[in-house]
Structures are given as structure tokens and as C-alpha cells.
Structure 1
């Protein structure tokens, strides 16, 4: 097995992560679904569709062949949309080195199965869970690609593999911390997308800081409730993969879920919002999966419920606000 790293997915975060790896001294091959993108990265050192102004280091190359990128890779970084992961892995798993570490950058819950991304990886590839490492936290790609100081969480049940990934992405501008709470880190990353949609909706409706603070704090509370029900450490949600990721995704105008939510808050349909943003935000699909996961475990997630209804049942955001505010009064409990 060689020491090179494969990054499967040439979106904004996959591209930024490849830059981080290269800046940390690793040789990186990006797989791009569209061959012209791979060719431009290889020949001109930038991604024409995502982060076009960022010059990629010479240690980064690209290919349109996933098998070529994966072959012999010590680390295989998965940076594709969460709902496409299972199908992609079905094609890729035969090319994995028997001891490769699989690194998940994805923040979502699979529709239909309500599985976390690490669970999908294990189920689809047949690898043991300790070979999967999750990277989560406030990961606004354009800022990190511009080398603004940032931190992240590297979560895995195998401390040696987590430490390997940590050392592979530590740079002067990017500080990774290790954690063994894979469940908590994955849920924090998935649910914050849904809460960020609600935040964007509130911004577009003209609500101020009190409303925005309420959505973030109560959104964090329902995320933690679900996490604890699934076996996560509640302290995780006070850290980078919980509060940190939520704050960044809600407050940053660069965050796609917040931006998508703003279109919904102005009265746009899902399709109109998708056309305006040129993509479907992860939180739109995750809202359904998170809601189903919460119901299966008897966990109340009122903000998630209303976001799901706005996105998939056509509920007017103004009515959703009234429904949230008219809920039965209760203690501020996190149990």
C-alpha cells in the first residue's frame, strides 16, 4: 500500500480537503465525476466549478477513473453527496486496499434506512467499523481553502487510525482534534444541516437575533436528545462537531443550507430554490431521514418536523412558526 490519498468527490469540501492534505505533505489524487473537471485540476491546478480562484498544490492531481484514484491508497476520503454514497461504494469497494482507512466527510442520514454514513460504509464495503474515520466540524470550504484558521474533529473507534488522519491534515491553518464518539460527530453534522435550513428561513422572514439564537440553541438541544438516544456522548454536542458546526452553518452566508433556507423563507418552492442555488442542500433530504430516525426512537424534534413539512409537504413557513411557538410550555430540559 502506497502512502498516497484518494479523495473521491470534487465538490467544494472535497477540493478544499485535498488542498489541506497536500499542504500537510500528502500526495493526493482527486476523483471527479466529470472528466473535464479532472483534466482542468490536473493541467491548470484549480477546480473550475468549485473554488475556481484557489490554486491547488502540485501534490494534487486528478482523474476521472475512481479505480485509478483508489488503487493502493492508504487513506480513501469519501466526499460525495450522502444519498449517492451507497451506489458509489458498490462500484468502488473492490478496489480498496485490505487495510485502507476510509474517511467520511459526508454530513447526512441515508433516506429509507436512516443509517449514518459510517454505517453505510461498513454495510456496503464489508470493512470493520474501526477502519472508518469521520471528519466533522465547522467546515466552510471557501474559508478553509483561503487558509483562514479553522479546527475540526477526527472521530474514530481506532485511536491509531484517527491519529493517522489527524497527522495527515494538520497544517498551519487547520487544527484537527481526535474524538472516539463517531455517533455524536455524525449526528451533529447531519442535523445541523436541517437546523441551518430553519435559520435561513427565519433570516428571509425578517426575524432578528432572538429568533436566530432560539433556533440554534433549541436546534442543538434536539440534536443532543437524538444523539443520546442513539448512544452518543452529550458532551460532543458542546464541541466543534456539535455547536461549532451548527454556528458556522447557520451564521455563514457561504453555507449552502442556510442559503437554501433563505429561498424557502421568501416563498420559493424546492425546485425554485434548487435552481437559484444550483444544488439541493443536504438538509432537505436529511430532514426526512432525521425525522424518521427521531420517530423510531421516540425523540421529539419540533424544529426538524417543521422543516420537513416546509420542504416536503408545502407548509407555509409562517404557519410553521406559529406551530413551533404554540407548543405546550415545558421546562428547558435536555433529557
Structure 2
């Protein structure tokens, strides 16, 4: 049994805490809102994010960072990408010297466009070889029902990855290890761009052919970025790549897909984000993808067109037309650039 704190009481943080509690660990969820703390401690629910789904009765919630983090063996970060650095600054004084740091956030830091493990390593430099990323196709709405789910944990240190694997793995939550931290983080983040684009295309009624094309060509864009940043190409045909891409682009549970669909129906980005009431990481990640495209001089036509729709007011139908009217090229030649 390990003493674990989960920072972030959203749907994903709560569900991962539930998995760990199912595995017999002593788990505390840190949350800001008094209502959430009361629901978790007294009713074993998190209504705002998981409805009436029952949580493990041994789960506890706490509003005090010092109490929640001090003395814990494992720190699991499940906060939005834009909040990661500030959270690390706050908890650093309380993190145990031997603690394992796991993060389950899919995105980039704004402006610097750094991956989450890079942000963690900057704020917690003494824990560099004890940082692990968890990613893969895993909708919280299904994991809370204990539906079969597979994910991957990645770390530069094999021992740390295996520790995380042992913490999470059980009969419904299968965990693989991978040494490619860069690839796992890139795949987990950039697939949200393609999910937004897929939701938009579905909303326009373009059907299965368009969805398949977006997912396939989107994977090529993800691979090109990953290769430029030092990822292992094989990672993108694994759980954090094509696996997460399929799950996010085809599911009613995907916030990014739903946001893209809503925009296709004529709603503004501001309206969509206000109505969702949850973080849609793909919006911020589209900014990051656009910046990385320019930094590395990479061909990312889907990202380019989605950026124009989200932030420049481009008509979605015109964006699709521009994608389809690009100059002729060879598929394998383009794939070779990415792989």
C-alpha cells in the first residue's frame, strides 16, 4: 500500500484516484471547492464531473495542500496544462524527497510550449528520474464503470515507469510501460487537435470518409512534430498515438470532439467553452501546434486550418475546401517525412 495524493478533482483526477483506491492504496484527492470535498468525503460522489457514479468509500478529499501532499509516496498531477507550473510551485515545499511524480495532463504550457514533464523537471529538478507520464485512450466516463481500459506510462527511468505500472494496473485497467516520454506526451496532446477537427467535420455532415482521412493524416502531422522533437516513431502506432487518437476522435465522451461539433453548428469558440464548463485542452493545444509548426517548419495543414477557424474566424467549410485543394503529393513521401 502506498500513500498517494491526487492533485485535481476533475473527472480524470477523480477516476484515477478511484483506480488507485481500488488497488488498496491510501488515496487523498486535493480539491479547491468545498462542495466537491463534501461530496467525496460524505457521499462518495463527484456530481459535477461524474454524476451519480459511486466512488471508492476509502477515498478522502482535502482542501489543504500541505496536509494532502506532506509525507506522500506518490504525487499524481491531474490539473489542466495552464495550471501545472503554479501547482508545482505551491506543492514543492511539501513533496517528500523520495516521492514518485506522475502526471496525467495532455497539453503544453502556454507561450513556452513546453511539455508537462519539462515543466515538472524545471520546478522539481531533484525528482528528474522519478517523473512519469500516464496517457492513452481512457475516457473517465468508462473507467469509473470499470470498463476494460489500456494506458501507457512513460519515464526516462525504467524503474519509475515500472513503479507506476504496479500502482495502477488491475483487472480492468491494464498498464504498459514505454521509455519514450517525448512521444507519449506529444501523442497525448496533439491528438486533441485532430479530435476538434473531426468533430467539426462530423458536424458538417461529411461522414466516415472524411473522419478516416482526418485521423490518418492527423497521425502523420503528429508523427512529424514528434520526430522533430526527438520522439521515437514507433510510439505513434501505440496507445499514446493511434490508440488515443481513435478514442478521442470517435467518442461521444470526447470534450474536444464535442467542441468541434458545436463550432460546426455556428457557435462561437467563446460560447462553446462557456457551455462546456470543463477544460477543452485541444483549443490551447491548437495554439501550441501552430507555434510548433512554425518553430520546426513542419507541414501541418489540418492544424493550420483549424487554427484559422478557431482564432481567425475562418468558415469551417472553406477550411475543408482548402484542405482538399492542396497541391498533389505522394502519401509515402509525406509519411516518410514524419516517420
| Normalised TM-score (structure 2) | 0.96
Residue 29 of structure 2 corresponds to 30
Deviates more, 1:38-47 or 1:106-115: 38-47
Deviation at 1:319, TM superposition (A): 1.2
Q: Distance in 2 between matches of 1:310 and 1:98?
A: 46
Question: Is contact 2:156-2:181 (8 Å) kept?
Answer: yes
Residue 203 of structure 1 corresponds to 202
Q: Distance in 2 between matches of 1:264 and 1:110?
A: 24
Question: Is contact 2:80-2:279 (8 Å) kept?
Answer: no
Alignment of 1:119-138 (within 5 A): 119-138=118-137
Q: Distance in 1 between matches of 2:16 and 2:2?
A: 17
> Does residue 1:292 correspond to 2:291, yes or no?
yes
> Does residue 1:56 correspond to 2:55, yes or no?
yes
Q: Distance in 1 between matches of 2:312 and 2:129?
A: 39
- Determine helix, strand or coil for the equivalent of 2:152: strand
- Determine helix, strand or coil for the equivalent of 1:80: coil
Deviation at 1:124, TM superposition (A): 2.0
> Does residue 1:86 correspond to 2:81, yes or no?
no
- Determine helix, strand or coil for the equivalent of 2:47: coil
Q: Which runs of 4+ in 1 moved over 4 A?
A: none
Q: Distance in 2 between matches of 1:33 and 1:305?
A: 36
Deviation at 1:280, TM superposition (A): 4.1
Residue 177 of structure 1 corresponds to 176
- Determine helix, strand or coil for the equivalent of 1:77: strand
Deviation at 1:228, TM superposition (A): 0.8
Q: Distance in 1 between matches of 2:324 and 2:300?
A: 14
Deviation at 1:122, TM superposition (A): 0.9
Which ranges in structure 1 are unaligned for 5 or more consecutive residues? none
Residue 323 of structure 1 corresponds to 322
Question: Is contact 1:25-1:168 (8 Å) kept?
Answer: no
Residue 248 of structure 1 corresponds to 247
- Determine helix, strand or coil for the equivalent of 1:303: helix
Q: Distance in 1 between matches of 2:28 and 2:278?
A: 25
> Does residue 1:42 correspond to 2:55, yes or no?
no
CA shift digits 1:238-276 (9 cap, x unpaired): 010000000000100111000011011112111111123
Deviation at 1:33, TM superposition (A): 1.6
CA shift digits 1:180-237 (9 cap, x unpaired): 0000000001001111000000011001110000000000010011101111111100
CA shift digits 1:149-182 (9 cap, x unpaired): 0100010111111111111111110100000000
- Determine helix, strand or coil for the equivalent of 2:329: coil
* RMSD (Å) for aligned C-alpha atoms: 1.2
Question: Is contact 1:198-1:307 (8 Å) kept?
Answer: yes
Q: Distance in 2 between matches of 1:168 and 1:119?
A: 23
Q: Distance in 2 between matches of 1:267 and 1:154?
A: 39
Question: Is contact 1:109-1:290 (8 Å) kept?
Answer: no
Question: Is contact 1:7-1:29 (8 Å) kept?
Answer: yes
CA shift digits 1:108-156 (9 cap, x unpaired): 0111001001001111222343211000000110101101101000101
Deviates more, 1:111-120 or 1:269-278: 269-278
> Does residue 1:239 correspond to 2:222, yes or no?
no
Count matched residues. 334
Residue 281 of structure 1 corresponds to 280
Q: Distance in 2 between matches of 1:68 and 1:48?
A: 24
Question: Is contact 2:23-2:167 (8 Å) kept?
Answer: yes
- Determine helix, strand or coil for the equivalent of 1:138: coil
